[in-house]
Amino acid sequence: MPVRLPVVAMIAAGLLTASCQRESGPAAPPPEPAGPVEAGPATPPLNPALDRSELLAAVARAASAYAAGADAAASSPLAGRQFDIRLAFGCEGAEASPADGAGDGLARWSWGPEGETIRLSLTPGDWTRSALIAGSGQDRWEAVEGFWVARPWMTADGCPSVRADPLASGPAAASPQTVGLAAVFERGGSRLGRRNGRAYAHAIRQAGDAPLVALDAGYRLRLQGRIASFPDGRAVRCRAANPNQRPVCVAAVQLDRVAFETPTGETLSEWRPG
């Protein structure tokens, strides 16, 4: 006659068997320690700010297209791009401002009275009625203030290493300016950034007892902003008096910041037109 075990005994026996089966099986391997997670390379900005080299390359392409008589595109891919360029000035020492006091769009430095200060200055040129602007935006723009990019054959933003020949008779004439930035101001827009003939100016003064010394490597003008466009959609306009001259080209821009700096990037003074 079969013996019936109590229900409690049967459950206990089952638990004991299952426990034995688990203990007799192979032990599960311990979890692997989590290793360091390596970050992937940072994603570069889609459209980084144009530097001096890239801006000059774009202007050179526009000059070539103009000389070849190529039709301009309906809109320029440069329009809306940010730019950040540094322009070296004072590489050959102090230079007096134009005698007529008119702005010529070039930065320079000069000694103050009795050599007690070094004056950095730049007065934008009034390009509102210039041949490059005339007929392109006079109805749209209330004012156009110009800045020249000196030595456009150099892609580096420092001073040139070439020095004038000391045996040459008289100073050598500088090449005419051929690349410029035209800061445009919409009709009826804000006038906060307009200079209206006033110079960007900064005075460096003597610190303590140390004598005031000008930098051999000159100073830097830093211009930051966005590329604008002429009414025909082009970002750069060019013009030449004859086919054997290098075209003069200017890019329409909206300035966000103008600054004087040392060659190492130290800001001496800045203006934020916006």
Percent residues over pLDDT 90 in the chain:
53
Lowest model confidence (mean pLDDT) among 33-37, 204-208, 241-245: 33-37
Q: How far apart are the first and last CA of the chain?
A: 104
Residues 272, 201: contact at Cβ < 8 Å? no
Decide if 13 is inside a domain. no
**At residue 83, what are phi and psi to the nearest 5 degrees?**
-135, 155
Decide if 139 is inside a domain. yes
- pLDDT tens-place string over residues 79-111: 999 999 999 999 989 888 877 767 899 999 999
pLDDT score, position 41:
58
Decide if 74 is inside a domain. yes
pLDDT score, position 163:
75
* pTM, rounded to two decimals: 0.79
Tokens standing for 131?
Answer: 């041949």
Task: Tell which wins on pLDDT, 137 or 100.
Answer: 100
- pLDDT tens-place string over residues 203-227: 999 887 788 999 999 999 999 999 9
pLDDT score, position 24:
43
Give me the mean pLDDT over the 139-167 stretch: 88
Decide if 11 is inside a domain. no
- pLDDT tens-place string over residues 160-212: 998 777 677 666 778 999 999 999 998 877 777 788 889 999 999 988 778 89
Name residue, tokens 């940072």.
Answer: 42
Find the angle CA(244)-CA(150)-CA(231) to the nearest 5 degrees.
Answer: 70
Q: Can you tell me the distance from the alpha carbon of 179 to that of 153, in angstroms, rounded to the nearest whole number? A: 10
pLDDT score, position 174:
83
> Across the chain, what does the average pLDDT equal?
82
Note the helical H segments in the chain.
Answer: 7-24, 52-68
Q: Can you tell me the distance from the alpha carbon of 176 to that of 248, in angstroms, rounded to the nearest whole number? A: 9
Decide if 16 is inside a domain. no
pLDDT score, position 8:
40
Decide if 8 is inside a domain. no
Decide if 247 is inside a domain. yes
For the chain, how many structural domains are there in total?
1
pLDDT score, position 263:
96
- pLDDT tens-place string over residues 3-33: 444 444 443 444 334 443 444 444 555 555 5
Decide if 229 is inside a domain. yes
Q: Which domain holds residue 145?
A: 52-91+125-160+176-196+219-271
Tokens standing for 183?
Answer: 């800061």
